[in-house]
Structure formats: structure tokens, C-alpha cells
Amino acid sequence: MVGSSHAQQLLAALLPIAEERNWQLVALLQPGCSFGIGGPDPCPQTSAAFLRYLLEVGPDVVVTMATRTEVGSADGEHAPLGFDDVVAPLLDQDIAVVGIRDTPRFETSPVDCWTRQRDSRESCTVPTSELLAPVSPAEAWDDRLGYRNLDLTDLYCPDDECPVVIGNVLVWMDHDHLTKDYASTMAAPARDRVIAAVEELSF
């Protein structure tokens, strides 16, 4: 798993699956830095170092975030800067890549809304269409040999809406991160998709 805190937040969902399948999961993380040769310092340097390490070690699969969302804007979702510059070398070395769609970024913290709006908490739910692009920008990579997209949006924004609480579990830690408790609940429903994305990759 490579990337920023948006990659890190999904470890609670992926670790149980990795343990079940006897995968060795290693995390290369830099808060605030998507995996891609772009963005403010130290992100380009960190991503370049991660890429060198991956090419040297040669893991079977690299999992990373394939899109980056922007605060309160469906139009702002895009591929991380320099994403092609890190993915292409991996695929060229027969290292498979699973790209996960990013979680949304809310204008205000859903938790703060939930706390304030005790009498109208339904107003804290935001339509997915206001936060994510109609079609994931990562789909442009679908035809690349050795690459798979993984979209888990429906697990935290079901029925095209992003609520604050699902099944009595708080979904959001702040304006753009899942709580560890909720991410843990995603392991079971995400299992088949994750396994298919990882194990069906071939060159």
C-alpha cells in the first residue's frame, strides 16, 4: 500500500483480507502526498523514493489511490499529479497495480455537522454527486495490462449518498478520512472485490 493518509485509512479494511489470503502487506506512507511525481515538496521526492524501492524489491502488486478528490467539488476529482509517471514504470517491470478511488472531501466535517444538527441530522448527509465525478477518472487506465481499478465508494456512500453514520458506526473522522472503526467494517463487504482485483491480475 503506497500513498498518503487516504491510503493509510484503508489499511483497517485491507489487513484482515491480507491475513486471510496470507499476503504480506507493506505500507509506504507519506501524509499529504499522493503517489505520483507531482505536488508540493516533499511529495515528488518521496514518491520517487517509493518508486525506486518498489522497482528494486519487485512486489507482486502495488495498491495505491488512483484518484484525488478536492474539497466539496465533484468536478475536482482527478488523477494524482504524475500518476502515470509512477504507474507506467511499475507495469513495465511486470509489477501489477490496483488503483483505489479516493474518498470524498467535505467542505465541513460531517462529524461537526452531526454534533451541531441534533434535530436535523439528515441534513448532514451529502449526495455523492456533489463530491465525486460522475465517472471515476481512473477508468482511463482500465485497458492497461496489469492494472485494475477498485471502487469502494458504495461501502461508505451507499445509495448515492454519504451519511455520517452507518449501522450505528461513525463513518467519518474529519472532513475527508474514514474512522478506523468504520474502515474495519468494510473488510467483509470489500473482500471479494479486493481478492478479485489482486488475484486476477495477469501479464
Is the bond preceding residue 163 a cis peptide, omega within 30 degrees? no
The string of DSSP letters for 70-102 reads: ETTEEEEEEPPTTHHHHHHHHHHTT-EEEEEPP
pTM for this structure? 0.94
CA distance 46 to 28: 10
Question: Domains of the chain: which residue ranges?
Answer: 2-199
Q: What percent of the chain has pLDDT over 70?
A: 98
What is the mean pLDDT of the segment spanning 25-44?
Answer: 95
What is the mean pLDDT of the segment spanning 13-42?
Answer: 96
pLDDT tens by residue, 136-169: 999 999 889 999 999 999 999 999 999 999 999 9
Taking a C-beta distance cutoff of 8 angstroms, is the pair 104, 164 a contact?
A: no
Tell me phi and psi for residue 168, to 5 degrees: 65, 20
Q: What is the pLDDT of residue 75?
A: 81
Return the C-alpha cell found at 199. Answer: 488475484
The CATH T-level fold of domain 2-199 is: Rossmann fold (3.40.50)
